[in-house]
Amino acid sequence: MITRNECLDWDQHDPLKNFKNDFALPKDVIYLDGNSLGARPKKSLTLAEQVITQEWGQDLINSWNKADWWGLPTRVGDKIATLIGAAAGETVVSDSTTVNLFKVLSAAVQIQADSDAQRKVIIAERDAFPTDIYIIEGYIDLIQKGYVLKLIDSVAELESTLKHNDVAVVVLSHVNYRTGYFYDMADINRLVHQHGGLLIWDLCHSVGAVPMDLKKTDSDFAIGCTYKYLNGGPGSPALLWVNPKHQNQFKQPLSGWWGHQKPFDMAQSYTPAEGIRRYLCGTQPILSMSLIEAGVDIFLASDMDQIRSKSLKLTDLFIDLMQQECADHEFELITPTDYRHRGSHVSFRHTHGYAIIQALIARGVIGDYREPEVLRFGVTPLYIGYCDIWDAVQQIKQVMQHEEWKAPQYQIRGQVT
Amino acid sequence: MITRNECLDWDQHDPLKNFKNDFALPKDVIYLDGNSLGARPKKSLTLAEQVITQEWGQDLINSWNKADWWGLPTRVGDKIATLIGAAAGETVVSDSTTVNLFKVLSAAVQIQADSDAQRKVIIAERDAFPTDIYIIEGYIDLIQKGYVLKLIDSVAELESTLKHNDVAVVVLSHVNYRTGYFYDMADINRLVHQHGGLLIWDLCHSVGAVPMDLKKTDSDFAIGCTYKYLNGGPGSPALLWVNPKHQNQFKQPLSGWWGHQKPFDMAQSYTPAEGIRRYLCGTQPILSMSLIEAGVDIFLASDMDQIRSKSLKLTDLFIDLMQQECADHEFELITPTDYRHRGSHVSFRHTHGYAIIQALIARGVIGDYREPEVLRFGVTPLYIGYCDIWDAVQQIKQVMQHEEWKAPQYQIRGQVT
């Protein structure tokens, strides 16, 4: 039997406990949705005031140089690089994850077409966050050269599909957005490369949540969100990393002036910048991009191994407490129990999942719902403690025991994000 | 002879004079670069505080519904619609102008390919803002089906190129970013349509600067910036308009989940939304997008005909005063004197253009420099008055008379935006 006092004790001895002070969280809320929208770093407000009043209002266009707005995509990129195992100059922040996938997908397909034109299969997971599949569909429709999208359901199926030696590119979520399944990056890179494929990692649910080393594991391309675990603010621009061995091989088709070798020469034809800047496109939303630094700087002051260690203890605790307190209520755990394959959120399937989440939100426990029937709880070690998990599970127990989820207002399906 | 007292009198009788109070401008600066980065609306700060502390910090993911973050692209789009002659539901704000050009270019080419596959010429202006040309190049490289980019230098050349009846799409800047040349939208739409082409208007230097009616003039597609004349903030997301007759004809290839018919069903294949939302792609930078409303709301309280009328008086004044005060200094006017073809900025060519602009900025007169040898001065009637123009020209006169531009520090070429 785990007790709340034990949780309290773990919180008191938690080496990360003070980081919670860096975030502005609402009172009376247990926020278990930082994997959807990260909490607000306190510094984001003063940073925004600085960008708005001084950089925009006072310095005006001079800020492109003075505040180095022009350098933001690589400056923020280089900070994130330390969390993903990249060297400086390999990462940019720009546009959205969806747009960035289009860029690297185009690059990867073209690199393959140049070396082996017979490879015309693109693999994605059936259970990927759908925008990844949609972008591949849109890309294939546009290029119309017999490319085929194959959806897989397991690593075994990935392996059997690769064996046909016609796969150009594989797109995988490093951590699955629904189940929290976490791929071994090194193993999968090796498998895909053995069969001549290139791999794009979608890091949306893993960057800032699990340690990784893109370079050491010989990854090819990676994209991901900055507004989830990195706490960059709603819809903040996305990251894009390319292994230097691929960077200059292909001119990605969203060839806007920010990716030009000499953007201010106003040249009449496109020459891509050397290196990662060629993956930029048009002018970036400076305010939304600036605030990412407030989020990432907190990570840089912390320790990724401690974050991972605490994340696993928190998800273990959640799983154990659900067994201890809510075993009667038919929650089916769909997150792997194996540490090697567990990200930083815990998901359960339940027939009344949608209504249960609504009832929990009304009680101040914010998780989210994903089709079909999945309750999802994100664990963010920088601002979530052991007692938070204890208290959240107690609230779930209350909702179930009192059948609160049966209330009519919780049955109405609205938009969820 | 025009005198400063006359300018003072015009300012006193200016029906738009009070709008200057809605902007936070630095003291001792005459800001003639609102066509590059619009000035800061005072309300932008309180709006940002609201989005950061309340919507993000307190309401967290609930803001997707409660603050209607999800609806921002069309909500802001519908406000801008009133400035461009569009009905509600025809305009979105999303991504960058560059990315939006890729979307509508793909749509326009595909519509043409479906009706006449022989049309494989895409026309752009040699003097377009280069990103427009770069995107067409990248698009053609990607689709590789014999499409050809033809660059034109004049309306006469546009007409002679169209006569071959092989033009699919024409991309034109409504107002040219360097010279300020302003096309007659109705005339050009008619010309292009007569020869079977479709037209994309780049409104970056015209939206908020000149009146227009996209619908009444039977335009096809339009894209444009919100951070110039609309004062949306540095790099704020861009607008995209599609004539309803074309909207549902093509699934644009940046088919992200925000453009899906049912984005929250997590469907495994892409079905585009009906209407303009199909031109959305990934998650948007909410903070940068929110602040656009502070800028556009000022326009909605003003009158576009009064803005146009004052803009022409201000550019007239600038041109006349340069003749009156600086005739000896070899400035060559490159902006059309004909009202029908003049946007809202005035440009001069001068051999020492770069150094002169630097010397002017040091004196607090902020214009900008564009290759080759062009000094550019934007006129923004909501916060620039007649005396500002008088004073700016006097400063130019001082810089020239004292040969201040010869100072070594003004010769060093840095980045300009």
A246-266: pLDDT as tens digits: 999 888 999 999 999 999 888
DSSP assignments along A222-240, one per residue: EEE-SSSTT---TTPPEEE
Active site residue A376: yes
- Which pLDDT does position B273 carry in this prediction? 95
B375 part of a folded domain: yes
**Pair (A309, A356) in one structural domain:** yes
Give me the percent of chain A exceeding a pLDDT of 90.
94
Residue B54 has pLDDT above 70, yes or no: yes
A49 part of a folded domain: no
A50 part of a folded domain: no
Give the end of a domain, one of B276, B301, B326.
B301
Give the end of a domain, one of A301, A318, A340.
A301
Phi-psi label, residue A68: left if phi above 0, alpha if psi -120 to 50, beta otherwise: left
Question: Looking at chain A from residue 34 to 93, which residues have their Cβ under 8 Å from any Cβ of chain B?
Answer: 36-37, 39-40, 44-45, 48-49, 51-53, 55-58, 60-65, 69-70
Mutate to test the interface with A, among B288, B366, B369 (most CBs of A within 10 A): B288
Q: Do B283 and A56 touch (CB under 8 A)?
A: no
Owner of token pair 């290839």:
B253
Q: How many domains does chain B have?
A: 2
Residue A415 has pLDDT above 60, yes or no: no
Q: Which whole number is the average pLDDT over B356-369?
A: 96
CB atoms within 10 A of CB A379: 25
Structure tokens at B289: 């997008």
CATH number at residue A126: 3.40.640.10
- Which pLDDT does position A250 carry in this prediction? 86
- Which pLDDT does position A417 carry in this prediction? 46
- Which pLDDT does position B417 carry in this prediction? 46
Chain A: closest CA distance from residue B260 (Å): 9
Its domain, for residue A316, covers 4-41+303-410
Structure tokens at A39: 């909490």
Measured at the CA of A330, the angle between CA A329 and CA A331, to 5 degrees, comes to 100
**Pair (B25, B87) in one structural domain:** no
**Pair (A182, A316) in one structural domain:** no
**Pair (A295, A239) in one structural domain:** yes
Residue A199's Cβ-count burial label (10 Å; 0-12, 13-18, 19+) is buried
- Which pLDDT does position B415 carry in this prediction? 53
User: What are the backbone dihedrals phi and psi of residue A23, each rounded to the nearest 5 degrees, phi first?
Assistant: -115, 145
Q: Is the pTM of this model over 0.95?
A: yes
Q: Which whole number is the average pLDDT over A379-391?
A: 98
Residue A321's Cβ-count burial label (10 Å; 0-12, 13-18, 19+) is buried
A56 part of a folded domain: no
**Lowest-confidence segment of A185-199, B135-149, B385-399 by average pLDDT:** B135-149
Chain A residues lying within 8 Å of B37, measured CB to CB: 56, 60-61
pLDDT digits 0-9 by tens, B153-187: 999 999 999 999 999 999 999 999 999 999 999 99
Chain B residues lying within 8 Å of A62, measured CB to CB: 361, 366
Give the end of a domain, one of A283, A301, A319.
A301
- Which pLDDT does position B380 carry in this prediction? 98
Q: Which whole number is the average pLDDT over B71-97?
A: 98
Helix (H, G, I), strand (E, B) or coil at A172: strand
At residue A414 the predicted structure's pLDDT band, cuts being 50, 70 and 90, is low
CA distances from A125 to A14, A133, A154, B218 (A): 37, 8, 8, 43
Chain B residues lying within 8 Å of A237, measured CB to CB: 285
Owner of token pair 């010989």:
A218
Chain B residues lying within 8 Å of A238, measured CB to CB: 282
B118 part of a folded domain: yes
pLDDT digits 0-9 by tens, A18-39: 999 999 999 999 999 999 999 9
A403 part of a folded domain: yes
Cβ of residue B292 closer than 8 Å to a chain A Cβ: no
Active site residue A363: no
At residue A131 the predicted structure's pLDDT band, cuts being 50, 70 and 90, is very high
Structure tokens at A383: 């601002």
Residue B63 has pLDDT above 60, yes or no: yes
**Pair (A123, A217) in one structural domain:** yes
